[in-house]
Amino acid sequence: MSLLAGKSFVREVDEAIGKRAYRVLALLSQSSVAKENPVNEWTKAIAVGKVTKVDDFLITLNLDGLPASQIPWTLSQKSYVQFSTSWADGLNQLLKTLEAVKAPIDEVAGAALVHQWYSAKDQPAAREERVWSNVIPVLSLPPVIRRYENIGGKDLRTLEQDWLFATENRDFVWAFDAVPESLKSDFSLSNTTSWKDISGEPGRRLKDRVKFLLSRSLEKHCVKRGLIQSGTRGTMYFPVGLLPSDKISFIGLFGKKTYFKTIGERKFRIGGTNIEINRHHLAPSFKLVRADDESYHVQLINRLYITDQNENPIHPTRMARRRKKICKNWWNDKWGSRLLGVMSWFSEDKSEVEIFKTPEGSFSLSGKALSLSATFGIDENSDDPEEVSEDDSEGLGEPLIDDSEALDIVQDFSDENPESEA
């Protein structure tokens, strides 16, 4: 069917279903079942099937694995082809169904259409394209680490908020920073060490302590910038109100200024008629990695942290399941935008981020994730692609997400403290 300018879309679709279609395929998804036009088209096809006495005139394809409670009642009595578990199996079942009803096949035209589609679909174009990674280069590391003796017999567990150190045992600790003024009478400097030059087992243990200190300093830097950390060394996430309108503005994938919201809300159906509203927070993680050649880099991994509307985290079992359901259709554009946006926030759009500084040197990262240049790219059929700003596109206007399994979990864990997950 091809629509010309000025033609009525509704009339053309209605005529195609009523007069030209051999069978109609209904694509059931979270989006389609909530839209008026697809539902109207399915209703028309059912009516045509009744008039022509063709019971299977409408063939339903369940793309998102929708439960019966989310399928329109007019289709609830029909069996469907399941695509959510395996597209290969779903396609195979659909082809068998069409073959069984003797759907007409134009092999010549079919081959030409496939060739035309393949020739035009995302073919590499001879133009340079930038490919982003989630790797942040480490630009510098302090070369010297200090070993301190706990001469005051301090309980080291009570000092973690005041001073960043790695414990060797109850008598000795390692730190990049000098001992705070308030603890100088309790700790004495034992020695300073060029940690990169130590080899063997002592070197491995010392480098493990260095990695711990660098990782903890990244966490402290993010918390100082305003991220909330759940529990002790738990997930870090953007809280409500940290940013104006909870938005990160940044230069997007196509080089234009855009934004997305760090917080959204979704509705979940649990136990039939019960509805629960959850808030999902963007939760960046900065993972320090030591490569085989003893070099270091940081991996930026973005996740979602889910709370109720009062900012209390939901139980981790439900959180994992609901995170998957929210992110099910998040593809490269969403994750790529969040990578660039979080990097813009983290670096404050500077070329270098200094995490901490010592007299001998600093721990500094690049202000941008590592990117590569490819000699060919995908032709997007647009000389001037647009940046799409996301203003809570996963908001309460979206269809309900069925999470009926969660009811038992709510009852089983209603007396537990969700923070224990950390």
What are 377-414's pLDDT values in tens digits?
Answer: 766 554 455 555 665 444 554 555 666 544 433 332 22
Each residue of 45-69: pLDDT tens digit? 999 999 999 988 999 999 888 887 7
Query: Where would I find the H helices in 121-161?
Result: none
Domain limits, the chain? 9-105, 126-140+228-422, 141-224
Taking alpha carbons only, the member of 306, 326, 325 closest to residue 316 is 306
Q: At 187, is the secondary structure helix, strand, or coil? A: strand
pLDDT of residue 174: 97
- Residue pair 263/282 in contact (Cβ under 8 Å)? The answer is yes
Q: Residue 266: which H helix or E strand, with range?
A: strand 263-270
pTM for this entry:
0.67
pLDDT value, residue 408: 35
Q: At 262, list the tokens.
A: 């760090």
The closest alpha carbon to 364, from 350, 351, 354, belongs to 354
Residue 156: both structure tokens together: 């080291």
Distances (CA, A) of 97 to 63, 67, 79, 81, 247: 16, 22, 12, 9, 48
Query: Cβ–Cβ contacts within 10 Å for residue 109, how many?
Result: 9
What pLDDT score does 331 carry? 85
Residue pair 317/407 in contact (Cβ under 8 Å)? The answer is no
The two three-digit tokens of residue 341, written as one number: 């946006």
Residues 6+ apart with CB under 8 A from 210: 145, 166, 174, 195
Q: Tell me if residue 136 falls in helix, strand or coil.
A: strand
pLDDT at 68: 78
Supply φ then ψ for residue 101, to 5 degrees.
-90, 10
pLDDT of residue 381: 55
pLDDT < 50 positions in the chain: 1, 3-6, 382-383, 392-394, 397, 405-422
CA 224, 225, 230, 232 torsion-angle sign: negative
**pLDDT score, position 337:** 93
Q: Are the C-beta atoms of residues 6 and 371 closer than 8 Å to each other?
A: no
- Side-chain half-sphere exposure of 107, counting CA atoms within 13 A: 0
Q: What's the pLDDT at 221?
A: 96
Angle made by CA atoms 325, 330, 335, in degrees to the nearest 5? 130
